[in-house]
């Protein structure tokens, strides 16, 4: 056999062997695929929630309703009934109850605290006519006066008794009113002129501003510091229903007034009197039934 023929034979033999091996491998792969189907995936016992349901989009919360603003607290006001505005009052006309009003001038001062203790001990109330200069110096004492259930009034800033212009009267009364409010949170339309002077311009300005000008019907002159027994005797001998008593809690040592008060209150209570503030006293008069003759004349 020639070398050329041998070479061709070798090539053919190699090609046949390769084709045979390829066919054999393809057949084996097909048999394996048919005998081994896909293995199913085992179910998950506790699948995460986000795999079961699509996530819901969060809707924004609706804005909460705006709370209604709280109404501003109304300040405490010490004012007389309308019929007493711009009037001068010395006592009240009360015909159906034994009541009396204690009043104190020229405070607040450390002496005021002693008087408050006596009033508290005997479950009594009073009306305090304060000086603006003292309100600025003792605002906490003024606050205690009102917190204890007493009324407060305007007694000007400096206690002037001489004639004043309307501008000065305005300064004296309006500035005191401001400090009444700052120290106690209350507004007052009760005015007492220093020294009881009604013609020096102060009372006229107060009436123009709708204050009631509160005078008095009993004056034991305790500002002169007489003995406590003399003060008590003067008040007890003049006591009557609707009376307004003038006393002092400022302007100096008021120990005699404090001692007299400790005798006045229990003795008047024994006589059937009740102690009220000036606004309460005037309200009682305003609430009384008018006599039939007066009603017919209207």
DSSP state of 218: B
> Does the active-site annotation cover 122?
no
Task: Of 119, 127, 118, give the one whose Cα is nearest residue 92.
Answer: 127
Instruction: Report the largest interatomic distance among the alpha carbons of the chain, rounded to a whole angstrom.
Output: 173
Query: What distance in Å separates the CA atoms of residue 247 and residue 263, rounded to the nearest whole number?
Result: 14
Q: Could you tell me the two tokens for 126?
A: 């009073």
Please list, residue by residue across 156-176, b when 16 or more beta carbons sit within 10 angstroms of its beta carbon and e when fewer do.
Answer: bbbbbeeebeeebbebbbebb
Peptide bond into 168 cis (omega under 30): no
> Does the active-site annotation cover 171?
no
DSSP state of 193: -
Q: Which of 106, 155, 248, 249 is catalytic?
A: 248
Q: Which of 105, 106, 222, 249 is catalytic?
A: 105
Catalytic site residues? 105, 248
């Amino acid at each position: 056999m020639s070398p050329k023929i041998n070479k061709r034979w070798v090539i053919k033999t190699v090609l046949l062997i390769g084709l045979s091996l390829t066919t054999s491998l393809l057949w084996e792969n097909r048999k394996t695929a048919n005998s081994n189907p896909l293995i199913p995936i085992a179910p998950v016992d506790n699948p995460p929630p986000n795999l079961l349901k699509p996530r819901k989009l969060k809707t924004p919360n609706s804005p909460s309703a705006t709370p209604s603003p709280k109404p501003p607290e109304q300040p405490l006001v010490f004012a007389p009934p309308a019929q007493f505005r711009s009037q001068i009052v010395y006592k009240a006309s009360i015909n159906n109850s034994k009541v009396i009003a204690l009043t104190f001038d020229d405070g607040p001062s450390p002496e005021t605290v002693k008087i408050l203790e006596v009033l508290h001990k005997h479950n009594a109330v009073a009306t305090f006519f304060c000086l603006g200069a003292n309100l600025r110096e003792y605002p906490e004492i003024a606050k205690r006066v009102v917190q204890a259930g007493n009324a407060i009034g305007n007694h000007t800033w400096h206690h002037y008794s001489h004639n004043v212009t309307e501008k000065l009267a305005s300064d004296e009364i309006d500035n005191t009113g401001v400090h009444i409010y700052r120290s106690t949170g209350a507004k007052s339309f009760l005015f007492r002129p220093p020294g009881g002077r009604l013609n020096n311009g102060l009372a006229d300005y107060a009436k123009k501003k709708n204050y009631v000008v509160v005078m008095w019907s009993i004056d034991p002159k305790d500002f002169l510091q007489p003995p406590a027994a003399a003060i008590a005797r003067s008040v007890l001998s003049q006591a009557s229903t609707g009376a307004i008593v003038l006393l002092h809690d400022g302007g100096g040592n008021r120990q005699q007034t404090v001692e007299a008060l400790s005798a006045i209150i229990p003795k008047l209570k024994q006589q059937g009197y009740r102690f009220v503030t000036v606004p309460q006293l005037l309200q009682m008069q305003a609430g009384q039934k008018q006599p039939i003759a007066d009603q017919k004349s209207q």
